[in-house]
Amino acid sequence: MARYSAGHKEATREKLVELAARHIRINGMASLGVASLMAEAGMTHGGFYAHFKSREALLAAAVERVFDQSVEALAYWPKKYGEGALSKYKDFYFSSRHRDDASAGCPVPSLAGEARLASPEVKAAFDAGLERLGDAIARMTPEGETAAGRKAALCLLGEMAGVLALSRVVDAKRSGEVLAAGRKAVAV
């Protein structure tokens, strides 16, 4: 029997988390199946349990990953735009590009509804990710990472996520109107 390299197990786990993260961003958590994920990864269903104790553990890792990716992406805005970062980020958030690409966008509009009903493990991953994302947005506010800045950031994120979620479910004409109204109404 051939032995795998020392890093093989970790690399395989990372691949599974990446595939699951991409899947849940686009299709939601409920549609993620272990058998289909393993087939996409070129592995057998039984191999899943060498990496995760349960589907819920995979979902929690995938939720953590999508928030990691979003927090990392948010670091770009202050570096590029300085004090105008939050305004530029808001414009991007309400863009048709962001609306149309759930695979790389904010995870909140895609996952919030399902996270509310998720297992405690998955909900905890969502809550922790939301906290980190709120902190990243707070860093772009005038208040920074103070209690007031964090509160303002979470409120702003809630407003933006709600608008984006609505823009994704209405027809094309109304979607553009919803995004434009959100861009105008949400103050930063």
Instruction: Kindly state whether residue 4 falls inside one of the protein's structural domains.
Output: no
DSSP-assigned letter for residue 49: G
Mean pLDDT of 59-79: 96
pLDDT at 188: 81
In a domain, 17, yes or no: no
User: Is 129 among the domain residues?
Assistant: yes
How many separate domains does the chain show? 1
pLDDT band at 6 (very low <50, low <70, confident <90, very high): low
Question: What local confidence, expressed as pLDDT, does residue 111 receive?
Answer: 95
The average confidence (pLDDT) of the chain is 93
In this structure, is residue 128 part of a structural domain? yes
Q: Token pair of 154, please?
A: 């979470």
The count of other CB atoms within 10 Å of the CB of residue 152 is 18
Residues contacting residue 70 through CB under 8 Å, at least 6 positions apart: 106, 107, 129, 133, 136
- Confidence band, pLDDT 50/70/90 cuts, at residue 2: low
Looking at the domain assignment, is residue 147 inside a domain? yes
Interval 132-144: pLDDT, tens: 999 999 999 999 9
Q: Does 15 reside within a domain? A: no
Please compute the mean of the pLDDT values over residues 11-15 and round it to a whole number: 93
Range of the domain at 163: 55-185
pLDDT score of 4? 66
How does DSSP classify residue 102?
T
Q: What is the mean pLDDT of residues 74-81?
A: 94
83-121: pLDDT as tens digits: 999 999 999 999 999 999 988 889 999 999 999 999 999
162 in a structural domain: yes
Q: What is the CATH number of the domain that holds 62?
A: 1.10.357.10
99 lies in some domain: yes
What one-letter code names the amino acid at 152? Answer: A
